[in-house]
Structure 1
Amino acid sequence: MFGYPSRILFISTLVLGTFISVSSHSWFGAWIGLEVNLLSFIPLMTDKNMMSSEAALKYFLTQALASIFLFTTILLYTVSLKVSYYPSTLPISMHTLFWSALLIKLGAAPFHFWLPGVMEGLTWVNNMLLMTWQKLGPLGLLSYASEDSVLPQGAIILSAIVGAIGGFNQTSLRKIMAYSSINHLGWMLAGVLLSNPYWVTYFIFYCFLSFSILVSFHHLQLSHLKQIFLIPDTNNFNKIFIFANFLSLGGLPPFIGFIPKWLMLQGLVTQNNFMLAGVLVLLTLVVLFYYLRTFFPAILITTTVHKWVAPQTYWSNFSVGLTSISLLGFPLFPMLYPVF
């Protein structure tokens, strides 16, 4: 990622574009920030293989379409009201178009079709950026114009359903992580409807847990489920650490990933939104099911790998530290609870 000076430049403008977007005082400034972020991420996606070029083209076309929708919404609203500052409310039609544009940028359902294909062609480092940092700008803009209407709640439920069901028949770890990201987007959008501390807290935990898992996949050079059986491991620590990180990402107590889900459920129940909370919990159980289905055979079945087939790979102290934090869980909850 940092091998070339040009990549350092693009990473700097990538971060700058997101900051411009979330801190701008006008919709046009926010749109410009998103475009700077987009044009900085495209060169980072391209690699020496054809799949990355195809993924970059898919990503560019999808994001360009979303940018057109967003720019049209901003232009129509600015012309109609003669202002360019953030309004307190948007007309229903413009609110729908605005949310649709940002949901396309996020890859949330029902505009999720591009995300698994794009992630399949990227490296784990680029997937990490796509799953975490690239969501910050659109989520921040959605929080500025959040409204408890049919469209946001429909997007939350659809994202949870698609993320839960879409991962069943997948053998690619990249696509499994893509559908997992779609499911977690449902939780983040629910936090957007509650208040900023909820979705920001969930986003921070999601970034940490995703980083822990993708570091493992990058370190062990994993791409498909069958490779998990071939992990060279004499004491199963590699498999157990990945398995623990997946359970934490799924929100199973007492892992640390349960904390943001607990806070989100508490906020939804406080606002008497029992239906949405129940749907999210039930579909999270489905996500946990295909996490378990992925790693139970790899842990329970003993495999023999010759040294000349796959060299022995040991965990670094950094990876062990990340997994240890994932296992803390409830001891950290009293530190965050007073914030809410």
Structure 2
Amino acid sequence: MFNNSSKILFFFILMMSTMIIISSNSWLGAWMGLEINLLSFIPLMSDNNLMSNEASLKYFLTQTLASSILLFSTILFMYQNNFMNQIFINNYINMMILSSLLMKSGTAPFHFWFPNVMEGLNWMNALILMTWQKIGPLMLISYLIIKYMMFWCIFLSIVIGSLGGLNQTSLRKLMTFSSINHLGWMLMSMYSNESLWITYFMFYTFLSFNLIFLFNMFKLFHINQLFSLFFYNKILKFSLFLNLLSLGGLPPFLGFIPKWLTIQYLTFNNQLFMLTIMIIMTLITLFFYLRLCYTTFMLNYFENNWTFNIYWNNTLMNMYLFFSFISSFGLFMISMIYYLI
């Protein structure tokens, strides 16, 4: 990723811009942070090939549209005292601001750009887009929760994120629809508790990093590459699919903890209808993860694999196996620590 010094500079600007968004005390300051964030991420995306250039152009156009709506809404918000019916105008302005932020984060029904952009990126840029680029918009959304609008966006994100991944053969698109589904859960946790979404986001970032670390190392981009991979190393194969099931939120694994907390808060707040839909849609997500794991373990055949001879030293392998151990047995360890304390 960091093949020259300018990319390191843009990466640090990307980090700083998110800090500007978080620490901003006005919508104009937040808009400036989002613009700096956009303009620093685009040079990181372009990887001197046609697909990445196309992805960076799509990302630029959609994010610019969202930024212009946000700036326009902010200017209207400043001049709202000139209007007669302030409450009516104010509701519309809040909806416009929220729509622009939902588009920036890639939440359904504003997710149209997300799968296409992800398909053109390498794994490290995809990880940044799935995790770090969500922090700013989600933080701003948490300041401005419109209940009925958030409810429909959460519902659509969970449904589209679950059903959209059923017919995918590209691992990047699979991770994209998984991200949209998790965004729905994050927004619902934000809806029920102000700080719970941060916990969910931290768990999601760790689990996504754990998977993408291995995908990037072995240059895995499609499901059929998994069939003949790790034929001589079953430990890596098992750890990969345990991490995949952990990301889906299967109960014995670490990924179930944030879902467990969200389910608990939703039960306390009596949001039972939404909770039922979320659990049913998560079962569909787990279905295509399990189908992927089952097929890969069953279709275990020899085939020439061009990406097999890859530099994979002991330090990287030990680090990955350590993270996989935390991902697989983190729930047991946290439960034991909780009961001991």
TM-score range, shorter chain: over 0.9
Q: Is the 8 A contact 2:228 2:300 kept in 1?
A: no
> 2:244 corresponds to which residue?
246
1:245-284 to 2 correspondences below 5 Å: 245-284=243-282
> 1:202 corresponds to which residue?
200
> 1:323 corresponds to which residue?
324
CA distance in 1, matches of 2:337, 2:16: 29
> 1:57 corresponds to which residue?
57
CA distance in 1, matches of 2:247, 2:262: 15
Q: Is the 8 A contact 2:218 2:308 kept in 1?
A: no
Following superposition, the deviation at residue 73 of structure 1 comes to 1.1
**Distance change (3 Å), C-alpha of 1:90 and 1:185:** farther
Following superposition, the deviation at residue 2 of structure 1 comes to 2.2
Question: Among residues 300, 307, 310, which one is paired with 2:308 in the alignment?
Answer: 310
Following superposition, the deviation at residue 331 of structure 1 comes to 3.1
CA distance in 2, matches of 1:250, 1:240: 15
Q: Is the 8 A contact 1:139 1:192 kept in 2?
A: no
- Percent identity, aligned pairs only? 46
1:39-118 to 2 correspondences below 5 Å: 39-81=39-81, 91-118=90-117
> 1:14 corresponds to which residue?
14
Following superposition, the deviation at residue 334 of structure 1 comes to 4.5
Secondary structure of the structure 2 residue equivalent to 1:74: helix
**Distance change (3 Å), C-alpha of 1:80 and 1:322:** same
Instruction: Spell out structure 1 runs of 4+ moving beyond 6 A.
Output: 335-338
Structure 1, unmatched stretches of 5+, are 83-88
Following superposition, the deviation at residue 235 of structure 1 comes to 3.8
Q: Is the 8 A contact 1:202 1:260 kept in 2?
A: yes
State yes or no: 1:145 paired with 2:144.
Answer: yes
> 1:29 corresponds to which residue?
29
1:18-75: per-residue Cα shift (whole Å, max 9, x none)?
1111111111001100111000000000012100000000000000000011111111
| Aligned residue-pair number | 331
Q: Is the 8 A contact 1:268 1:274 kept in 2?
A: yes
CA distance in 2, matches of 1:320, 1:208: 14
**Distance change (3 Å), C-alpha of 1:49 and 1:214:** same
**Distance change (3 Å), C-alpha of 1:151 and 1:42:** same
- Between stretches 314-323 and 210-219, larger displacement belongs to 314-323
1:115-126 to 2 correspondences below 5 Å: 115-126=114-125
Following superposition, the deviation at residue 230 of structure 1 comes to 2.1
Following superposition, the deviation at residue 79 of structure 1 comes to 1.4
Letter in 2 for 1:126: N
CA distance in 2, matches of 1:78, 1:160: 34
Following superposition, the deviation at residue 308 of structure 1 comes to 7.8
CA distance in 1, matches of 2:166, 2:307: 30
CA distance in 2, matches of 1:307, 1:142: 45
> 1:184 corresponds to which residue?
182
What is the RMSD computed on CA atoms of the aligned residues?
2.1
> 2:85 corresponds to which residue?
none
Secondary structure of the structure 1 residue equivalent to 2:125: helix
Following superposition, the deviation at residue 90 of structure 1 comes to 8.8
> 1:165 corresponds to which residue?
163
> 1:224 corresponds to which residue?
222
Q: Is the 8 A contact 1:240 1:299 kept in 2?
A: no
Following superposition, the deviation at residue 145 of structure 1 comes to 1.3
1:275-328: per-residue Cα shift (whole Å, max 9, x none)?
111111110000000011112111123212458883377571111111011012
Q: Is the 8 A contact 2:170 2:222 kept in 1?
A: yes
